[in-house]
Amino acid sequence: MSGDPLRVVLADDERLVRTALRAIIGAEPDMTVVGEAATGAEAVSVVRQQRPDVVLMDVRMPEVDGIRATEQLLRTLDEPPRVVVVTTFENDSYVYEALRAGASGFLLKRAAAEELVQAVRLVARSDSLLFPAAVRSLAAHHARRRRADALRGRLTDREAEVLRLVAEGLTNAEIAERLSVGPQTVKSHVASLLAKLGARDRTQAVIAAYEHGFVTPG
């Protein structure tokens, strides 16, 4: 992203929603809208053509919904964009399935403009969870519990400790301060635990942690 504006694609079946999102994104000097789509199938096509950094993806669209579109992008592109699901209801099971499919976070349609632009910047940087309390609440509500032992066996003690702090929503710098280690050390631990969990980013790592019962509500 070397100083260039963040490239954003808008996918929503409501033209008014896309118009509003375009106005908000277009007002920011560090981001630009490079394409729009009214269905999931169109979203996949536009992303392949434009190669954006971030997609704002409506979860409920005709033909191909946001979940399937997200899956297709992650499966077929070598360097897929970050996907933020835009939704009306934060506890919607569709949103959870989109996160499991590879979306990096979600945003409510009633969110303020500043939350929207913050979301785009956060997922593009990808060293923090997008609205961690909301992601944790959704994961805790929908998680399919598996045995924690299988997950614990794959992680070192320090990686397990880092995963718990990631689940709290801490950035690499905050984790480094908490553990009294260097930021590069934390970055290495995060990269290692993501690889072991088969997780694309921190959001998928947190989902996996809850699904295995490794992290529990409260």
Q: Which residues contact 78 (CB under 8 A, 6 or more apart)?
A: none
**Whole-number Å distance between alpha carbons of 175 and 34:** 35
Topology of 145-211 in CATH?
Arc Repressor Mutant, subunit A (1.10.10)
- CATH of 6-126, picked from 3.40.640.10, 3.40.605.10, 3.60.21.10, 3.40.50.2300, is 3.40.50.2300
Tens digit of each residue's pLDDT, the chain (218 residues): 457 899 999 999 999 999 999 999 999 999 999 999 999 999 999 999 999 999 999 988 888 888 999 999 999 999 999 999 988 876 678 888 888 888 998 888 888 999 999 999 989 987 777 777 778 788 877 766 655 555 666 789 899 899 989 988 899 999 999 999 999 999 999 999 999 888 889 998 988 888 877 777 65
Give 80's DSSP letter: P
The pTM for the full model equals 0.81
Which is it for the CA torsion 6, 207, 144, 108, positive or negative?
negative
- Written as six digits, the tokens of 47 are 């992303």
Residue 73 to residue 71: CA distance in whole angstroms? 6
